[in-house]
């Protein structure tokens, strides 16, 4: 097998395991077993666990950029784009209920570890924030675009957190409805801070 394929398989397996089991809890052996290669082979591609983490973060960044670019193309209305984001919590509901938000949980874990790559992991979160901010900007919000972006991003983290804790589908659906209503409301009103969240 070509080295690049092996490397890619390792990163994909690590990505999955870091998500489902966490970074600390996932061992070299776990990843090697998932890809069905020897530890020696593994070491050829990644010298340290931190190197794998960086590769996983790079992949996640790239994946999310691709996703956002797709939304930019397929939906030409900013409101519809933001709704694409909102609906992630429904589209990925089962995984979120089991493992939480991949971005949020990794951010939280690396923060507790005070891990060097903590900052890079936060960039994934920032990627969404900046994209959302651009959408709200396109809707005519100036200074408030960032606050709205953070509001929607924080909303998604909160929903993911409770979805994981309680596994309540009705709650998720209701929250999606509420924030969607809010979005339509402020999109029409425009350029003002909503009186309620």
Question: Which of 39, 57, 32, 34 shows the shortest CA–CA distance to 121?
Answer: 57
* Residues found near DNA in the complex (CB under 7 A): 1-4, 6, 26-30, 37-45, 47-50
Within 37-117, where are the H helices? 39-45, 49-74, 78-86, 88-91, 93-99, 102-113
Binder of residue 49, out of its own copies, DNA, none (CB less than 5 to 8 A by kind): DNA
For its own copies, the closer of residues 37 and 121 by Cβ is 121
CA angle 155, 104, 159 (to 5 degrees): 30
Binder of residue 111, out of its own copies, DNA, none (CB less than 5 to 8 A by kind): its own copies
Between helix 78-86 and helix 169-189 the angle, nearest 10°, is 160
Stretch that binds its own copies, among 1-9, 52-60, 70-78, 175-183 (CB under 8 A): 175-183
Whether the Cβ atoms of residue 128 and residue 71 lie closer than 8 Å to each other = no
For its own copies, the closer of residues 26 and 45 by Cβ is 26
* DSSP per-residue letters across 164-177: HHH--HHHHHHHHH
Binder of residue 47, out of DNA, its own copies, none (CB less than 5 to 8 A by kind): DNA
Tokens standing for 110? 């690396």
Stretch that binds its own copies, among 45-53, 68-76, 77-85, 166-174 (CB under 8 A): 166-174
**Interaction site with its own copies (CB under 8 A):** 20-22, 24-25, 98-100, 104-105, 107-109, 111-113, 122, 125-126, 129, 147, 150-151, 153-159, 161-162, 164-166, 168, 171, 174-175, 178-179, 181-182, 185-186, 193-197
């Amino acid at each position: 097998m070509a080295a690049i394929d092996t490397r890619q398989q390792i990163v994909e397996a690590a990505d999955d395991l870091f998500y489902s089991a966490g970074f600390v809890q996932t061992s070299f052996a776990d990843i090697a077993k998932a890809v069905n290669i020897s530890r020696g082979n593994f070491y050829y591609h990644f010298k340290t666990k931190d190197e794998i983490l960086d590769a996983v973060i790079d992949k996640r960044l790239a994946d999310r950029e691709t996703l956002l670019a797709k939304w930019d193309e397929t939906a030409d209305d900013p409101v519809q784009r933001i709704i694409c984001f909102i609906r992630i919590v429904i589209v990925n509901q089962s995984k979120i209920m089991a493992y939480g938000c991949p971005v949020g949980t990794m951010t939280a874990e690396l923060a507790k570890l005070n891990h060097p790559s903590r900052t890079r992991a936060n960039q994934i979160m920032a990627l969404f924030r900046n994209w959302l901010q651009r959408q709200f900007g396109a809707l005519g919000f100036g200074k408030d675009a960032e606050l709205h972006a953070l509001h929607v991003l924080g909303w998604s983290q909160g929903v993911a957190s409770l979805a994981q804790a309680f596994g309540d589908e009705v709650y998720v659906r209701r929250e999606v409805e509420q924030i969607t209503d809010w979005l339509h409301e402020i999109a029409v009103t425009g350029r003002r801070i909503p009186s309620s969240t």
